[in-house]
Amino acid sequence: MPTGPMKHSPGLHKKPTVIIEACPDYDVERIRRIVGGGLVQLGLSPKGRTLVKPNCVAAGKHFPHAHTRAEFLEGVLQALKDRAAAPGAPTVESWTLGERSGITMPTRFCYKAAGYLPMLDRVGVQASYFDEETQVEIPLYHQSRLRSSMYFPEPIATADFFVNCPKFKAHPWTTVTFSLKNYIGIQDDRHRLIDHDHKLNEKVADLQYAIQPQFIAIDAITAGEGRMLTPIPFDMGLIIMGDNQVAFDAVCCHIIGIDPMSVPHIRLCAERGFGPVDLDHINIVGGVSLEEAKAKAQGFEVGLIRVEDYFEGTNIRAYAGPPPGGDASDYCWGGCPGAMEEAIEILRLFDSATDEKMPRVHVVFGAFEGAIDAKPGETVVFIGDCATWKGQLHGKELEIESLYTDRAEIDPATATTQDIFAKIGSMTWRFAGTKPGDVIRLAGCPVSVAENVLALVKLGKLKNPYFDPGQAIAFGNAYFSWRTHKLLNRLRGQVDQQAGPTVRGDARPDQNQPPEGHPTPLEHPLS
- What share of the chain has pLDDT > 70, as a percent? 90
Can you tell me the distance from the alpha carbon of 3 to that of 422, in angstroms, rounded to the nearest whole number?
40
Task: Give buried/exposed letters for 328-363 (b at 16+ CB in 10 A, else e).
Answer: eebbbbbbbbbbbbbbbbbbeebbeebeebbeebbb
Q: Write out the DSSP string of 162-200.
A: EEEE-EEEEETTTEEESTTGGGGGGS-HHHHSTT-STTH
Domains of the chain, by residue range, sit at 26-242, 307-406+414-462
489-496, Cβ contacts within 8 angstroms, sequence gap of 24 or more: 489/132, 489/133, 489/134, 489/527, 490/525, 490/527, 492/134, 492/525, 493/134, 493/524, 493/525, 493/526, 493/527, 494/525, 496/523, 496/525
117-135 tens-digit pLDDT: 999 999 999 999 998 888 8
For the cut 50, the answer to whether the pLDDT of residue 417 exceeds it is: yes
199-217 tens-digit pLDDT: 899 999 999 999 999 999 9
DSSP 80: H
Can you tell me the distance from the alpha carbon of 478 to that of 119, in angstroms, rounded to the nearest whole number?
18
- What residue type is 24 in one-letter code? P
Can you tell me the distance from the alpha carbon of 99 to that of 113, in angstroms, rounded to the nearest whole number?
14
For the cut 90, the answer to whether the pLDDT of residue 104 exceeds it is: no
**Which residues are CB-contacts of 173 (< 8 A; sequence separation ≥ 6)?**
200, 304, 333, 334, 335, 338
- What residue type is 121 in one-letter code? D
Instruction: Work out the average pLDDT over 23-30.
Output: 98
Q: With beta carbons less than 8 A apart as the criterion, state whether 139 and 148 touch.
A: yes
pLDDT of residue 7: 54
pLDDT of residue 9: 54
Q: Which CATH superfamily is domain 26-242 in?
A: LarA, N-terminal domain (3.40.50.11440)
Q: With beta carbons less than 8 A apart as the criterion, state whether 213 and 12 touch.
A: no
**Which residues are CB-contacts of 247 (< 8 A; sequence separation ≥ 6)?**
11, 16, 17, 18, 275, 276, 277, 281, 282
For the cut 50, the answer to whether the pLDDT of residue 314 exceeds it is: yes
**Which residues are CB-contacts of 354 (< 8 A; sequence separation ≥ 6)?**
344, 347, 348, 456, 460, 462
pLDDT of residue 473: 73
pTM over 0.85: yes
Q: With beta carbons less than 8 A apart as the criterion, state whether 70 and 117 touch.
A: no
